A = this chain, B = another copy of it.
Amino acid sequence: MVRVPLTPEERQRGERFGALLRQARGERSMVEVAAAAGVSAETLRKIETGRAPTPAFFTVAALAAALGLSLDELAVACADASGRDGSEFRRAG
């Protein structure tokens, strides 16, 4: 087993993540936001619909910047939205 498939929880987390991005996009079109972030509209669509549940960090960073979102708040919002134990996101100190 060299690369475990994404767990259902990770898929669900991706769906929540996409929902947050879509909510933050509001009335703006996909092409508008995608162009502002420097990614293709299809990529944004896949992330928003949860078909790309674990997008690249800098892709998310560019989208968050285009949408005016905080990466930290985005991360905790995905983990906090459901009944997760949150252990993977607890601070080190």
Q: Which residues of A contact B (CB under 8 A)?
A: 10, 13, 36-38, 54-62, 65-68, 70-72, 74-75, 78, 88-93
Q: Is A38 in contact with B68, judged by CB distance below 8 angstroms?
A: no
Q: Is B88 in contact with A37, judged by CB distance below 8 angstroms?
A: yes
Oligomeric state, in copies: 2
Chain B residue nearest in CB terms to A70: B72
Q: Is B61 in contact with A59, judged by CB distance below 8 angstroms?
A: no
Q: Is B71 in contact with A93, judged by CB distance below 8 angstroms?
A: no
Contact of A57 (CB < 8 Å), options: B57, B70, B88, B89: B57
Hey, which chain B residues are within 8 Å of A57, CB to CB? 54-57, 59-60, 75
Hey, which chain B residues are within 8 Å of A36, CB to CB? 92
